[in-house]
Amino acid sequence: MIVQSLMIKDPFTISDRQDKSIRHLPVVDKSHRLVGWATLSDMKQGLLPAMVTGLSVADIMVKNPITLHPDDDVEVAARVIYEKKIGGMPVVDDDKKVVGVMTVTDLLNAFIKIMGMLTNGTRLDVNVGKEAQGFEKVSGIIRDQGGEIVSVGIASDVTDKRIHYFRLKKCLAEPIIKALDKEGYEVVSSSG
């Protein structure tokens, strides 16, 4: 999945001399090339000084902000937003023209869609064990019991358990849980 498939296309932008407060906006020049990034926090901090001294967006914007390219992978965007602790960033093409915006909310929406979290389904959190074929065996047991897997998430933290989060189409979880238990797989939790 690439950034271009999730970004907000043709975002509203402001000129670098505009003095109105709007949240998360790329600041562009007359050629629509990125010159800065104005965040709500920056604008709130600059509001009172702007009233007193006549500050403009150019005075409070982030100059040379971190950017994405439309063809960047969404994982790159998520990593940058997480590591830099920022709420979003502009997406620019090869000519540095603003073509979109990527925010934490966009990434959260993608995660929710990928994991199928808004579907009316069943979730099983299963310790697949340390054996190499644990995932395949658990997936097979789920399918054999009539479960249809929508998505799988894997806990990245290193513990003595290897938890996989199976999201299934709505089904009766109890027969699946019993079959997994019978084969020695611990269902840590279930819902739906």
Q: Dump pLDDT digits (tens) for 150-169.
A: 999 887 766 678 899 999 99
Overall number of domains in the chain: 2
Do 34 and 83 have their domain in common? yes
pLDDT tens digits, one per residue of 76-109: 999 999 999 998 999 999 999 999 889 888 899 8
Residue 134 CA, chain-centre distance (Å), reads 28
Do 43 and 63 have their domain in common? yes
d(Cα 4, Cα 70) in Å, to the nearest integer? 4
Residue 22 binned pLDDT confidence (cut-offs 50, 70, 90):
low
d(Cα 59, Cα 56) in Å, to the nearest integer? 5
Predicted structure pTM score: 0.64
Domain boundary among 112, 147, 165: 112
Q: Helices marked H in the chain — which ranges? A: 40-53, 57-60, 74-84, 104-115, 134-144, 173-182
In sequence order, what are the beta bridge partners of 63?
none
Residue 20's pLDDT is what? Answer: 45
Instruction: Give the domain extent around 132.
Output: 116-191
Do 17 and 95 have their domain in common? yes
Domain boundary among 78, 112, 146: 112
**What CATH number has the domain bearing residue 124?**
3.30.70.260
Do 122 and 108 have their domain in common? no
Domain boundary among 91, 112, 133: 112
Do 92 and 126 have their domain in common? no
Do 99 and 126 have their domain in common? no
Tokens standing for residue 99: 């073509």
Q: Is 175 left (phi over 0), alpha (psi -120 to 50) or beta?
A: alpha
Do 80 and 132 have their domain in common? no
Do 101 and 131 have their domain in common? no
Beta strands at 98-103 and 88-92: parallel, antiparallel or unpaired:
antiparallel
Do 130 and 41 have their domain in common? no
